[in-house]
Structure 1
Amino acid sequence: METLANLESFVRSAEAGSFSSAARRLALTPAAVSRNVAMLERNLGVRLFQRSTRKLTLTEAGERFLLAIGGNLDALQAAVADAGAGTAEPAGVLKVSLPPTFGVTHILPLLPEFLARHPRIRPEWHFENRQVDLVLEGYDAAIGGGFDLAPGIVARTLAPAHVVAVASPGYMSGRVAPTDPAGLAALDGIAMRSLRTGRIRRWTMRHVDGTEMGALPGEKVVVNDPAAMREAARLGLGVALLAVPDVLPDLESGALIRLLPYWYADAGAISLYYASRSLLPAKTRAFAEFLVEAFKRERLAARFAGSLGPAFGA
């Protein structure tokens, strides 16, 4: 009878397309993963992969076998995880990818409490404005929005990602506040050029009654980072369209004011991403549960919702 290690090495190698990537996901060496797969092939009497120096490709037999065991392997792993959940103390390196501004402002302050609960976990947190590949890059989890959900990856929604128009009180002094998104065209705009597409990001704003309208402020300043947009708005250079979490402390302190308080743009959701089809390590499970609890306790979903009207309206 095949061991769980052999079957899991095969499935993860098939998902990642290489022994090295599967090894990072399984915390094994590439040689160990290769041996596990070779043992499985020997016991089955069929070749499951075509091997090259650059990539693994499933054979026809490998494709049939993957289809046959995938769901059963998930169920077995879940049973093992449930059985061990009460006894395994979370430990080890927890590699997480987070957006810089959001991560530093809202997630990093939670770290002391998390480590007090789980002192054997060692955080390795990467603050970066990009979508990582959890499996290929060996991340335990990622926080952000709009990730491509590759096979075996799930998104656990934490809060809405709503974008609102903000400016400094000094900039708006003596200016007439716009009454709808079209009115932003009369003001100086702080725009963002996407690192991925090279284009200026445009937004369609939605009124709380459901009406939609394009928001086209001028382009007095163009940057490629949300933190720079926020700082430019603080400096009184114009109006910026930014996610509520990125400007919430400034709205609460009065350093920035929200324009068009009944209008917002919906950028999707802020989610926690992790691999669900593998045996979820205790450290990752502990982090996910802690994060969901903290968001609920701090009412972050409600505080991030630009659709709730003029909490910080001008």
Structure 2
Amino acid sequence: METLANIESFMRSAESGSFSAAARRLGLTPAAVSRNVAMLERNLGQRLFLRSTRKLTLTEAGERFRQAVGGHLEGLQAAIAAQTTQQGEPAGVLKISMSLVFGTDYLLPLLPAFVARYPAIRPECHFENRASDLIAEGIDVAIGGGFTLTPGLVARSLAPAHCIAVTSPTVLAGRALPATPDDLAAFNGILLRSANTGRLRRWVLRNAAGEEQAAMLRESLVVNDPLAMRQAALQGLGVALITLPDALPWLASGALVRLLPDWYADLGPISLYYAGRTLLPAKTRVFVDYLAEAFRQRDYATLFNARPPAP
């Protein structure tokens, strides 16, 4: 009987056209994926791929086999995961994608209690400032906002993602505080270049009355990472628009000051994203439930809310 590992190596290689790409998704070496596929071909008595130095191409037999396996692979994986849970504790590598700032400030402090509760689960954290393709990259759970809900993807909201204007107290020395978003144009601006689009991120701020104004910061410094943006603001290089969760520790210490406390940008919710399956792998299910409960206990939904009270 053919092993699931061999079939999975074949399917991921067929999807990506590369043993190396399949290996990254499966957490294996390219050599291991190649061996698994070779064993499958030997057991079936058919060549499934035409190999070249540039890419893999399915043979007619390989295409027939791919279509025959179809969507059954994920069902088999989920069934095995569910059966494993019934026999013992959740286990396996759990791939988590998130931004570096949010991950280090909020997720990593929650992991010790999680791994103590589920010692057979091994978290693998991917820190990225972009919306990951969970299905293609083999990510179990992503934390953040702005993901496109493609078919098969589920979002579970955790807290609001509000963006606020901050700067160092040194920047404000001897200067009048801005009264409206238009006044930000008088300050040096620290802007973020989006990793997804390559464009500078611009924000429209709103207040409790529903009024909206663009925050037209002067383009004095451009960075491509939110952590660098926050650090630049701490160094007194200008005004930055960053998410409230990223700013909170520094607002509490006084190292950063919030400008325009009646104005904020709504980026949508901070959510957990994962593949929606009838039988969700136990490692993913317990992590999603654990993180949602941890956020509830800490009342992050309130703490991350920058919206001023309604007039």
Into which bin does the TM-score normalised by the smaller protein fall? 0.7 to 0.9
The superposition leaves residues 85-124 of structure 1 with CA deviations (integer Å, 9 ceiling, x where unpaired) of 4443122222222211111011111111111111222222
Structure 2 counterpart of 1:124: 124
- Contact in 2 for aligned 1:25/1:135 (Cα 8 Å): no
CA–CA distance in 2 between the matches of 1:200 and 1:123?
33
Q: In structure 1, how many angstroms separate the alpha carbons of the residues matched to 2:196 and 2:302?
A: 30
Q: 1:191 to 1:276 in 2, by over 3 A?
A: same
Distance in 2 between residues matched to 1:280 and 1:241, nearest whole Å: 37
Per-residue displacement from partner, 1:225-274 (whole Å, max 9, x unpaired)?
Answer: 21122122122222111011111111122221211112111222222222
Is the alpha carbon distance of 1:109 and 1:6 closer, same or farther for their aligned partners in structure 2, counting shifts above 3 Å? closer
Of 133-142 and 10-19, more deviation after overlay is shown by 10-19
Aligned partners of 2:122, 2:80: CA distance in 1, in Å?
Answer: 24
How many Å separate the matches in 1 of 2:247 and 2:152?
33
Relative distance call for 1:148 and 1:53 in structure 2 (3 A) is farther
Equivalent position of 1:252 in the other structure:
252
> What SS class does the counterpart of residue 219 from structure 1 fall into?
strand
Summarize the alignment of residues 148-297 of structure 1 with structure 2, pairs less than 5 Å apart. 148-277=148-277, 280-297=280-297
Partner in structure 2 of residue 300 of structure 1: 300
SS of alignment partner, residue 233 of structure 1? helix
User: Residue 308 of structure 2 aligns to which amino acid in structure 1?
Assistant: G
Residue by residue over 1:15-41, the C-alpha shift from the partner in whole angstroms, topping out at 9 and shown as x without a partner, is 767788678767896579869998xx9
- Aligned amino acid, residue 254 of structure 1: G
Is the alpha carbon distance of 1:16 and 1:198 closer, same or farther for their aligned partners in structure 2, counting shifts above 3 Å? closer
Q: Displacement of 1:158 after TM fit? A: 2.0
Q: Deviations 1:48-74 (Å, cap 9, x if unpaired)?
A: 999999788999xx99x9999989988
Deviation at 1:183, TM superposition (A): 1.4
Does structure 2 retain, via aligned residues, the 8 Å contact 1:22–1:136?
no
Q: What TM-score does the superposition give when structure 2 sets the normalisation length? A: 0.76
8 Å Cα contact 2:75/2:279 also seen in 1: no
What is the CA-CA distance between 1:127 and the residue it aligns to? Answer: 1.8
2:110 corresponds to which residue?
110
Aligned-CA RMSD value: 3.9
Greater displacement, 217-226 / 237-246: 217-226
Q: What secondary structure does 2:160 align onto?
A: strand
Q: CA deviation at 1:80?
A: 6.9
Change (3 A) 1:93 1:69: closer
Distance 1:241 1:166 in 2: 6
User: How many residue pairs were aligned?
Assistant: 307
Change (3 A) 1:158 1:171: same
Equivalents in 1 of 2:85, 2:77: separation in Å?
A: 12
- What CA distance in whole angstroms lies between the structure 1 residues aligned with 2:152 and 2:15? 8
Greater mean deviation of Cα atoms: 287-296 or 275-284: 275-284
Q: What residue is the counterpart of 1:45 in the other structure?
A: none
Q: Aligned pair in 2 of structure 1 residues 37, 52: CA closer, same or farther (>3 Å)?
A: farther
Deviations 1:174-228 (A, max 9, x none): 2221222111112221222233433321111111221111111212222222112
What is the SS of the residue equivalent to 2:228?
A: helix
1:170, distance to aligned residue in structure 2 (A): 2.6
The CA distance in 2 between the partners of 1:270 and 1:78, in whole Å, is 26
d(CA) in 2 for partners of 1:16 and 1:154?
23
1:182–1:213 contact (8 Å) kept in structure 2: yes
Q: Is 1:140–1:275's contact at 8 Å kept on the other side of the alignment?
A: yes
Identity of aligned residues (%): 59
Distance 2:57 2:156 in 1: 31
- Contact 1:21-1:136 at 8 Å conserved across structures: no
TM-score, normalised relative to structure 1: 0.75
- CA 1:53–1:156: 2 relative to 1, 3 Å: farther
**Shift in CA distance, 66/146, structure 1 to aligned 2, threshold 3 Å:** farther
The aligned counterpart of 2:95 is 95
Q: How does 1:55-66 map to 2 (within 5 A)?
A: none
Indicate if the aligned counterparts of 1:202 and 1:215 stay in contact, CA closer than 8 A.
yes
